[in-house]
Structure 1
């Protein structure tokens, strides 16, 4: 049976994601859906609004068969490394035939060609030129593609190109497909019928507008549901970062000396996450990059690591059959319960610590989830 892979964050899972899963199966002819999903912290460098087990089970209740966790080591990096980690993990499962992602153009042929161009020396030279002018990496990539190809790509297409480049880099047989994104743009601040962007829904949840949010997701959100809110742990962020030596802070993976000092100075002179966010960004350093670096520092991600495991989050009966196939096909360790694992896996340790860190975004951190106590969710 054919299996399609979906790279996702589901922060939170919404009606657009459900539609994506349905269309992915339709256009690829796949009978099985495997999702590789960010865990407790998203690629924006923000703690996700719901814990990873809830988000994974929401996906399985709405069309996915198996959800596995993308290690934070890959999540807390730029789009290229995020994409590489996700594609590599799907490839290592040994059961995934194709991937399907959302796209503003909906033209996989064009995206394949752009992926080839973006590996050229001319393109990379242009990216360096724009970055030397003080522009951010995402903007430099966008401007370079426009100059080389005459096309200005939007966020989902840019990410799709990163997925295709990753497939090419590891010489995988996985075939890419895309679905044209319609009705609502990435990070749109409006809704359209039953559809809205994840960022729009997150803001509704932060504001306690659960009734409005429920119209945009395929599950109920009872009044009083606690949402993970980073503003609650701003003082902890300030405390932890202030206690890290300048040398160690600069040593964080992806950090630059000037940016390290800027982050520290801004944290010292602002009293809220919102104020910090407004003050710290520049044309070169995006807020997402800064938040990722802060989380890397708090988790002590300061070195390289090799992917060695598959972390199960949620599955159904079809997912259980996929797990059996993965056990036969993959060389990676399949993790069901952490109690069965060794304690010397640094990449897994970062994932566990990310979950622990996320609990400080709750009113009562001690009541938050614990990786050692929660098993993968079986959805009947």
Structure 2
């Protein structure tokens, strides 16, 4: 039995993701694909457009065999913690042979070299990084410049360096491999070159056989969404030309599933601005105390937030008000989401105190019935608790892991509150089980 692990958001799941899963399974000779997927919130600091159970079903229909949830403190953090938390799960379930991922460069040798520098932090690199930080650069820019200069001395190709420090998938790829190094993992990293539209492409592909970006698909779906306070559940949601083009970028079975949810009145799209009132309330409530206890919020940003509250209109507009040369859109998004969800920086310190052993557990969101041998093997080999029923979690988890799970559950309950779901009870939800084998390998 051979298993490939994949770290993903599937926000939403599309043909490019199906291609990734099936290609990785084929090229690595894997019998199964295990996905560690962000839950109801993503790494860019925004709610997922579709809830985690809907995206789990989409992934299973698209070739995944098992979907595990990435806890909230990792799924909404910087690339380092996003990767570290997810790798910890894949490394510790005891069955993962390969970690597969898409990459703009597709150059696994260069990725390993950059990851090695980041993991070991040699003196030459760390000195350059400190100099850049002292000059006023933000951390991401300082690290990229230090890597560029350090690796240039090592005779690496300038083109490769530029890709690895500036392209989203390559940046994540280096963090995945860095996490494998720090966690002393025997899992083998495997890169395939990204095909189709770039990660941040804003327009749907004009080629019917091409792969559009998840960003473009979200924009097309959201563009036809009515302005509501509790998510989107509208009979005209999928009637526009853009929406239909967005659906055409999903695998056939996934598209049919989404259409079925829509016809049953069960399709809810969730956007950043659905959280506007809740964020505004939280910012007003804590203005006098400041926001520095929250993850990704320093004193300068806290003061800036407090000074801008009177001009608050929507979540997305407020982010733009705060954006500056040294504060990226994503960084501000994450900071505000952390305030809204009550995510404190000292808790992440607890969960990631040891970069070689992140706090982790494996919570099952869904699986293909044909993956029963895989589940049995995980139960036998896993070095971390495997959770399928939340009500039993307190028996299996230690204090830190149970706190991390509770934080994740609370965040999902808030997601459901904003979407207008009833009842709001994460404990009442069972894993998705795909009974028939829909794989087409």
- Whole-Å separation in 2 of the counterparts to 1:87 and 1:248: 34
- Residue 152 of structure 1 aligns to a residue in which SS? helix
- Whole-Å separation in 1 of the counterparts to 2:288 and 2:70: 30
- Residue 295 of structure 2 aligns to a residue in which SS? coil
Equivalent residue in structure 1 for 2:244, among 208, 211, 217: 211
- Whole-Å separation in 1 of the counterparts to 2:53 and 2:73: 19
The aligned residue for residue 199 of structure 1 is: 215
Shift of 1:31: 1.1
Residue 142 (structure 1) aligned with residue 144 (structure 2): yes
- Whole-Å separation in 2 of the counterparts to 1:369 and 1:147: 51
Shift of 1:152: 0.7
Stretches of structure 1 that go unaligned for 5 or more consecutive residues are none
- Whole-Å separation in 1 of the counterparts to 2:172 and 2:340: 26
- Whole-Å separation in 1 of the counterparts to 2:423 and 2:149: 48
Shift of 1:53: 0.8
The aligned residue for residue 128 of structure 2 is: 126
Shift of 1:318: 3.7
Shift of 1:368: 7.1
- Aligned 1:245-264 pairs, distance under 5 A: 247=289, 249-264=291-306
- Residues 331-353 of structure 1: CA deviation (Å, up to 9, x unaligned): 32211121222296210111111
Q: TM-score, normalised by structure 2?
A: 0.81
The aligned residue for residue 162 of structure 2 is: 152
Q: TM-score, normalised by structure 1?
A: 0.93
The aligned residue for residue 90 of structure 1 is: 90
- Aligned 1:1-380 pairs, distance under 5 A: 1-118=1-118, 119-149=121-151, 150=158, 151-153=161-163, 154-192=167-205, 193=207, 194-208=210-224, 209-218=242-251, 219-220=254-255, 221-222=258-259, 225-244=267-286, 247=289, 249-302=291-344, 303=347, 304-305=350-351, 307-342=359-394, 345-362=402-419, 365-367=420-422, 370-380=425-435
C-alpha spacing 1:39/1:16, structure 2 compared with 1 (3 Å): same
More displaced stretch, 149-158 vs 20-29: 149-158
- Residue 37 of structure 2 aligns to a residue in which SS? strand
- Residues 52-74 of structure 1: CA deviation (Å, up to 9, x unaligned): 01111111111110000010111
- Residue 142 of structure 1 aligns to a residue in which SS? helix
- Residue 99 of structure 1 aligns to a residue in which SS? strand
Instruction: Assess if the C-alpha contact under 8 Å between 1:233 and 1:360 holds in 2.
Output: no
Higher gyration radius (CA)? 2
Shift of 1:248: 6.3
- Residue 94 of structure 1 aligns to a residue in which SS? coil
- Whole-Å separation in 2 of the counterparts to 1:246 and 1:18: 48
Number of residue pairs matched by the alignment: 378
- Residue 145 of structure 2 aligns to a residue in which SS? helix
Instruction: Assess if the C-alpha contact under 8 Å between 1:123 and 1:148 holds in 2.
Output: yes
- Whole-Å separation in 2 of the counterparts to 1:105 and 1:62: 25
- Whole-Å separation in 2 of the counterparts to 1:116 and 1:342: 37
- Residue 315 of structure 1 aligns to a residue in which SS? strand
- Whole-Å separation in 2 of the counterparts to 1:202 and 1:134: 35
Shift of 1:249: 2.0
- Whole-Å separation in 1 of the counterparts to 2:311 and 2:123: 42
C-alpha spacing 1:132/1:268, structure 2 compared with 1 (3 Å): farther
Shift of 1:308: 4.2
C-alpha spacing 1:238/1:48, structure 2 compared with 1 (3 Å): same
- Whole-Å separation in 2 of the counterparts to 1:32 and 1:116: 28
More displaced stretch, 151-160 vs 7-16: 151-160
Shift of 1:39: 0.4
C-alpha spacing 1:217/1:131, structure 2 compared with 1 (3 Å): farther
Instruction: Assess if the C-alpha contact under 8 Å between 1:135 and 1:283 holds in 2.
Output: no
